[in-house]
Structure 1
């Protein structure tokens, strides 16, 4: 097979290379995709800078990329749902489909899931890539490749809001206005939340959040007083939030999330920081504040696609920087430094 597949490969910490690899052949249940757009996620940067996230350690060269879209170039013989030329969003995690978690619909918890760019699995930041056809979602003509790639982070927001049971009339606090905080805010508004307040350390991100529909924003600093922040949240909302979605991973924000949430409410922790944190657990217990975890998503792509296709959610404003596949190293440097107020960096693989 022709070695004409430019691919971004992480060899070790701060050693990302572009190299030509062979174009793969799809298995019977797979499609070969000519890649369109691939977004850079915080986890990609974490692997580049640290070589690991928790127990997931880069021990061998790994192809980067998991927020992606592409065009079907070839189909396996058993594929019925797609044809050559279809533009698709790629759900990057393909589970075993037979374990207890998969059978109960919580396939994100499958121990044998193959998830793009999570060691030891390769990602899709390349020109050609094969993927299970049933985890590719056909894009309507009016939905762009960039929006297709952004279905991945948006699905995290959808899953977080489902875990928080956000519904019509909910009042929601989002801590952290990075890409995941912003898509969680967008999802909460789309699911019926009447008031959403969001916190962050960077004013430019709060400005973007406001532009995307946040009702209130709170600028934090490293020395912010927890009690004062909680009081500010309550004052701006005129009440206590009944749902909080924590997207920063910072211990201080987890503490604020618990203390700010209404008794009987829900705190969903999306951001992954240190393995252990000191939090006001008794405060949560005596007020029956539920603390729930989030790991990726399950069964969220169809809804996320519908939200974008219907115009209910506009994710295009999240994209602050664009690069070609050949410019991948520069793109990751921007992602590492956050230069130019970077929020979501998009790499365009098609020439």
Structure 2
């Protein structure tokens, strides 16, 4: 059999990222289905931390294939797959590295192909349970008519929805640090879940305007124009959420909490800034860690219903759709905050 190759986006070390074309296309087993990827969101937090070697958890060594916000359609079925069909659409298909590849994998959804595993068929057929890929739990089937570009933002929206719910914001006064795509969407879901007031802090005025218009922020604070400590002097909140990913914000934000209040760590921390001196947190407050989302897959169906009802508009939370061929420019736009979020089009 002649080996076939596909494109992928690889972090190559030294802060570099490249579009590569020598990733072997997965060869599917009898219980696997091949998925043609359609789009993948570029994560402003995790993907950048991986590229820069700053992730606070271990990732594969460079070069490593990026992407954890992908969506794609089944184009080929293994001989024993019977619970999926051609054309089924999935969020977050898995990458399958073939023997001899030179790449590691840090989720890998920015490749042209991924796979899903028919685990129900495997269990029904009495296959060895050790053969079940645990990552299949993250592969969620979605409606086949769900917009493929919006799909590149779906896992982001799921993460924000689950975080807003986990932080328990109903009838609470909330202060949010960060109005990037995660901050904007989290504030939108907080409003949907009944937050009493929302105050947003950021240094980019255009993003603060979006916080007001899209996410219903009651007040915005541009820390490049005003002294945020002076503006917030004497005020306290039920919840203070760091979506930037800095331990200094966790310490600062805890001082603004009511008794029993929660400082929420949602932004991904860097490996150079991952230690929190809990003795400096405000007394009688709580630290809730959500650097890595919890419940983001289970919430998919509910989130899609909100989208179908027009409560949530995915296009509000990304600003650019770009070919994967233009990954260098996409990275630049995000790095310089000229893009809120970029969706990579993998269909062409």
Q: TM-score range by the shorter chain?
A: 0.7 to 0.9
Q: Which of 334, 340, 345 lines up with 1:348 in the alignment?
A: 345
Could you report, residue by residue, the CA deviation over 1:272-322 in whole angstroms, capped at 9, with x for unpaired residues?
Answer: 251235677352x2xx22111014224323424422333322221111111
Deviates more, 1:223-232 or 1:10-19: 223-232
Change (3 A) 1:332 1:282: closer
CA distance in 1, matches of 2:225, 2:212: 24
Could you report, residue by residue, the CA deviation over 1:80-123 in whole angstroms, capped at 9, with x for unpaired residues?
Answer: 543210122227799xxxxxxxxxxxxxxxxxxxxxxx965441
Could you report, residue by residue, the CA deviation over 1:118-147 in whole angstroms, capped at 9, with x for unpaired residues?
Answer: 965441112111244553333335531122
Q: Which of 147, 151, 155 lines up with 2:154 in the alignment?
A: 151
Change (3 A) 1:248 1:122: closer
CA distance in 2, matches of 1:87, 1:173: 37
In 1, are the aligned partners of 2:238 and 2:258 still within 8 Å (CA)? yes
- The corresponding residue for 1:246 is 242
Could you report, residue by residue, the CA deviation over 1:299-349 in whole angstroms, capped at 9, with x for unpaired residues?
Answer: 3234244223333222211111111122222222322333xx211011100
Change (3 A) 1:211 1:130: same
- The corresponding residue for 2:92 is 90
Change (3 A) 1:305 1:82: same
Q: Which runs of 5+ in 1 are unaligned?
A: 95-117, 235-239
Measured after TM superposition, the shift of residue 192 of structure 1 is 2.4
Change (3 A) 1:170 1:92: farther
Measured after TM superposition, the shift of residue 40 of structure 1 is 0.7
Change (3 A) 1:299 1:31: farther
3-state SS of the aligned residue for 2:40?
Answer: strand
* Alignment pair present for 1:319 and 2:308: no
TM-score by length of 1: 0.79
Mapping for residues 200-349 of structure 1, pairs under 5 Å: 200-221=202-223, 225=227, 227-231=229-233, 234=235, 240-271=236-267, 272-273=269-270, 274-277=273-276, 281=280, 283=282, 285=283, 288-307=284-303, 308-338=307-337, 341-349=338-346
CA distance in 1, matches of 2:117, 2:40: 17
Measured after TM superposition, the shift of residue 225 of structure 1 is 4.4
TM-score by length of 2: 0.79
Q: Which of 106, 111, 135 lines up with 1:126 in the alignment?
A: 111
- The corresponding residue for 2:49 is 46
Larger relative helix fraction: 1
3-state SS of the aligned residue for 2:319?
Answer: strand
Change (3 A) 1:256 1:179: same
Measured after TM superposition, the shift of residue 62 of structure 1 is 1.1
Query: What value does the CA root-mean-square deviation take over the aligned residues?
Result: 2.9
Change (3 A) 1:121 1:175: closer
In 2, are the aligned partners of 1:68 and 1:148 still within 8 Å (CA)? yes
